[in-house]
């Protein structure tokens, strides 16, 4: 097997050709934050949280998709790297619905965890933000695009692992979404309700339908109750 010599944060190492810088760093127990990366499933370099500084390169590089090269010198925690990751995280947060306390992924959210680790608790960027209707029509999956961070994990697992491929990216710029053909609800496409997308979603954009949703649905369909979005159900006298 052909081996490659490189230096990461001053530590000399040797890894097989074709290894990514992220994998090489992890083999040295060097932590590089990631969001979109999912080994063997979603290695697309979408979020840029894993950027590192490579000597001689003109810009920071996404380590999860960067193969090692002979003599490479990498810094994973320089001032430029930390600043870039902080800006990237704030930009992701700027379009993310931040109702953490009522989110099913509260305290189990990869985005929330990264913000805590990097000391980010406010919003530096405000821009155009689109509010999407939450897709609750599926019998098992609730899809909330307001929380989607466009990592692409659900697309990869649906297409490449499950072989279903009912979701994909659509549109561009601030209007980019993960959606189905013709923006139909999941109940109207060939979703098989396997739940793989829920399992790998790093945030609360996809979650399992639970009893709470079913109670609300039952109430919505009942003429005995008046249901308000934000208030408890009220029995009609
Ligand atoms: Fe590398 Fe998202 S983790 S680009």
Give the orientation angle of helix 79-94 with respect to helix 110-117, to 10 degrees: 140
φ/ψ of 211, rounded to 5, equals -60, -35
Q: Given the CA of residue 22, which atom of ligand 1 is nearest to it?
A: 1
The pLDDT score that the predictor gives to residue 50 is 98
As a whole number, mean pLDDT of residues 34-40 equals 97
CA 62 – ligand 1 centroid, Å: 6
> Does the beta carbon of 20 lie inside 6 Å of ligand 1?
no
Taking a C-beta distance cutoff of 8 angstroms, is the pair 149, 91 a contact? Answer: no
Taking a C-beta distance cutoff of 8 angstroms, is the pair 74, 21 a contact? Answer: yes
The pLDDT score that the predictor gives to residue 24 is 98
pTM to 2 decimals? 0.87
From 3.10.20.740, 3.30.70.100, 3.30.70.580, 2.40.30.10, which CATH number describes the 3-89 domain? Answer: 3.10.20.740
Query: pLDDT (tens digit, 9 = 90+) per residue, 130-157?
Result: 999 999 999 999 999 999 999 999 999 9
As a whole number, mean pLDDT of residues 162-175 equals 95
As a whole number, mean pLDDT of residues 33-58 equals 97
User: How much of the chain is helix, strand and coil, in % rounded to 5?
Assistant: 30, 20, 50
46: nearest Cα among 184, 175, 154? 154
> Does the beta carbon of 36 lie inside 6 Å of ligand 1?
yes
pLDDT confidence band for 222 (50 / 70 / 90):
low
Tell whether the model's pLDDT for residue 177 goes beyond 90. yes
In the block, residue with structure tokens 């931040």: 98
Tell whether the model's pLDDT for residue 229 goes beyond 60. no
> Does the beta carbon of 150 lie inside 6 Å of ligand 1?
no
pLDDT confidence band for 223 (50 / 70 / 90):
low
Taking a C-beta distance cutoff of 8 angstroms, is the pair 21, 125 a contact? Answer: no
Tell whether the model's pLDDT for residue 227 goes beyond 70. no
As a whole number, mean pLDDT of residues 164-184 equals 95
In the block, residue with structure tokens 């996404």: 62
pLDDT confidence band for 123 (50 / 70 / 90):
confident
Q: How far apart are CA 149 and CA 201, in angstroms?
A: 9
CA 43 – ligand 1 centroid, Å: 8
The pLDDT score that the predictor gives to residue 213 is 76
pLDDT confidence band for 128 (50 / 70 / 90):
confident
CA 84 – ligand 1 centroid, Å: 13
pLDDT confidence band for 230 (50 / 70 / 90):
very low
Q: Which of 25, 40, 50 to mutate to test the pocket of ligand 1 (most atoms within 8 A of CB)?
A: 50
pLDDT confidence band for 236 (50 / 70 / 90):
very low
From 1.10.1040.10, 3.30.70.20, 3.40.1800.10, 3.40.50.10490, which CATH number describes the 131-232 domain? Answer: 3.30.70.20
Q: What are the residue ranges spanned by the domains of the chain? A: 3-89, 131-232
Within 8 A by CB and 6+ apart from 78, the residues are 53
CA 167 – ligand 1 centroid, Å: 20
212: nearest Cα among 112, 103, 110? 103
> Does the beta carbon of 61 lie inside 6 Å of ligand 1?
no
Query: pLDDT (tens digit, 9 = 90+) per residue, 69-108?
Result: 999 999 999 999 999 999 999 999 998 998 999 999 999 9
Tell whether the model's pLDDT for residue 228 goes beyond 50. no
> Does the beta carbon of 88 lie inside 6 Å of ligand 1?
no
Q: Given the CA of residue 34, which atom of ligand 1 is nearest to it?
A: 3
């Amino acid at each position: 097997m052909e081996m490659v010599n490189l230096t990461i944060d001053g530590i000399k190492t040797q890894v097989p050709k074709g290894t990514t810088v992220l994998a090489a760093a992890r083999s040295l127990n060097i932590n590089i934050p990631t969001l979109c990366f999912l080994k063997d499933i979603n290695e697309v370099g979408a979020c840029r949280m894993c950027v590192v500084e490579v000597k001689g390169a003109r810009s920071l590089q996404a380590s999860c998709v960067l193969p090692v090269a002979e003599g490479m010198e990498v810094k994973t925690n320089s001032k430029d790297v930390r600043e870039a990751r902080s800006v990237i995280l704030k930009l992701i947060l700027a379009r993310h619905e931040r109702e953490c306390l009522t989110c099913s992924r509260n305290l189990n959210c990869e985005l929330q965890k990264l913000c805590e680790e990097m000391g980010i608790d406010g919003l530096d960027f405000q821009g155009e933000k689109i509010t999407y209707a939450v897709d609750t029509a599926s019998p098992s999956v609730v899809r909330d695009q307001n929380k989607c961070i466009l990592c692409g994990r659900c697309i990869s697992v649906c297409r490449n692992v499950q072989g279903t491929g009912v979701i994909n990216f659509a549109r561009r710029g601030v209007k980019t979404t993960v959606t189905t053909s013709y923006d139909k609800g999941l109940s109207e496409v060939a979703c098989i309700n396997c739940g793989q997308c829920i399992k790998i979603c790093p945030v609360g954009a996809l979650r399992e339908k639970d009893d709470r949703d079913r109670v609300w649905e039952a109430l919505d369909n009942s003429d005995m109750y008046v249901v308000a979005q934000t208030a408890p159900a009220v029995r009609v006298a």
